Amino acid sequence: MKRVLIVDDSMIMRFVLTTHLKGLPIEIVAEATNGREALELFSKHKPDIVTMDITMPEMDGLTSMKKMIQILPETKVIVVTAVSDPAVALDAMEKGAYAVIHKPVTAAQMQEIMSTLV
């Protein structure tokens, strides 16, 4: 069973992602509200998969993601963002994102991408 960390500053978005992931062979080990908290929880739980927002307080998602991948290169980070600029998605992929999904995200999108990882 894959371990998942959900990172988004929106409580509603964290709830939506949790709901979209129900029924998959995963365990949501923690939820974080910013990149700094995400790094702390990442170090503690060592998840296999991270869903990562980009625009967050304290530390943005791309900075946090880059540090996570340096710690555990095998971690798969799925960027889930409201930023629609293609350059941002390209930057995320170049920094090591497994995939980039744009909000609003559907259950089908999440389950399709997760099915390649679980």
pTM beyond 0.85: yes
Quote the pLDDT of residue 87. Answer: 94
Whether the Cβ atoms of residue 28 and residue 77 lie closer than 8 Å to each other: no
Tokens 């990882």 identify what position? 117
Quote the pLDDT of residue 86. Answer: 92
Give burial (CB, 10 Å; 0-12/13-18/19+) of 32: buried
Q: 97: number of CA atoms within 13 Å, CB side?
A: 23
Task: Render each residue's pLDDT in the chain as its tens digit; 118 residues.
Answer: 999 999 999 999 999 999 999 999 999 999 999 999 999 999 999 999 999 999 999 999 999 999 999 999 999 999 999 998 999 999 999 999 999 999 999 999 999 999 999 8
Quote the pLDDT of residue 118. Answer: 85
Whether the Cβ atoms of residue 61 and residue 34 lie closer than 8 Å to each other: no
Tokens matching residue 48: 């296999």
Q: Helices 107-115 & 11-20, crossing angle to 10 degrees? A: 60
Structural domains in the chain, CATH included, are 2-115 (3.40.50.2300)
